[in-house]
């Protein structure tokens, strides 16, 4: 009567399951949120560009981690980036890395050209923070695999 259809490898995940990882970077604590569901799409040869958005923290504690107040702004920036980049399953967020006075959001995308518009929009909405970014080809998902 009922048939359960298993998702094929390489398909965009319908929902994301995240893990929290802890480690160190140059003797400072590092907190990583990893999208475990992204592994399903890592074999999809369309998602070959890695985008990194690095945000220097305005105020951090002695461990290089953000204050509770700044966390609110960082979460809003992350939500805006994801809303724009993941629309139409063009990109997927895979990591959020916080360490040494920085927060970085890592995505993989099919279309590297969308980044210019997205970064312009997000910077205009969140002028309180400097948002640095890069786009590189990364067919092997090397950064994601470092934390897998």
Distance of CA 108 to the CA centre of its chain: 8
| Residue 3: inside a domain | no
Average pLDDT across the chain, whole number: 93
Q: Quick one: average pLDDT of 54-72?
A: 95
Instruction: Give the whole-angstrom CA distance, residue 60 versus residue 88.
Output: 35
Query: What is the number of structural domains in the chain?
Result: 1
Predicted TM-score (pTM) of the model is 0.92
In a domain, 72, yes or no: yes
Dump pLDDT digits (tens) for 19-29: 999 999 999 99
Name the band, by pLDDT with cuts 50, 70 and 90, for residue 10.
confident
| 10: in domain | no
Distance CA 88, CA 98 (A): 27
CATH number at 44 reads 3.30.70.120
Q: Per the structure block, which two tokens stand in for 116?
A: 């210019």
pLDDT tens per residue, range 90-141 = 999 999 999 999 999 999 999 999 999 999 999 999 999 999 999 999 999 9
Helix%, strand%, coil% for the chain, nearest 5? 30, 35, 35
CA distances 85 to 77, 78, 88, Å, are 12, 10, 8
Q: Is residue 13 part of a domain?
A: no
Let me know if residue 9 belongs to a domain: no
| Burial class for 146, CB neighbours closer than 10 Å (0-12, 13-18, 19+) | exposed
Range of the domain at 107: 18-146
Question: Which residues lie across from 92 on neighbouring strands?
Answer: 108
Do residues 35 and 18 touch, judged by C-beta distance below 8 A? yes
Residue 50 lies in a domain: yes
């Amino acid at each position: 009567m009922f048939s359960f259809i298993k998702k094929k490898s390489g398909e965009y995940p319908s929902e994301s399951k995240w893990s929290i990882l802890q480690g160190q970077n140059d003797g400072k604590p590092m907190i990583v949120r990893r999208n475990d569901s992204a592994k399903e799409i890592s074999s999809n040869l369309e998602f070959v560009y890695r985008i990194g958005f690095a945000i220097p923290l305005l105020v951090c504690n002695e461990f290089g981690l953000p204050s509770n107040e700044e966390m609110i702004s960082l979460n809003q920036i992350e939500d805006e980036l994801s809303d724009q980049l993941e629309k139409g399953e063009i990109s997927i967020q895979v990591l959020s890395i916080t360490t040494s006075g920085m927060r970085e959001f890592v995505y993989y995308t099919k279309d590297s050209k969308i980044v210019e518009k997205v970064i312009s929009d997000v910077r205009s909405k969140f002028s309180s923070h400097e948002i640095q970014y890069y786009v590189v080809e990364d067919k092997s998902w090397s950064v994601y695999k470092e934390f897998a």
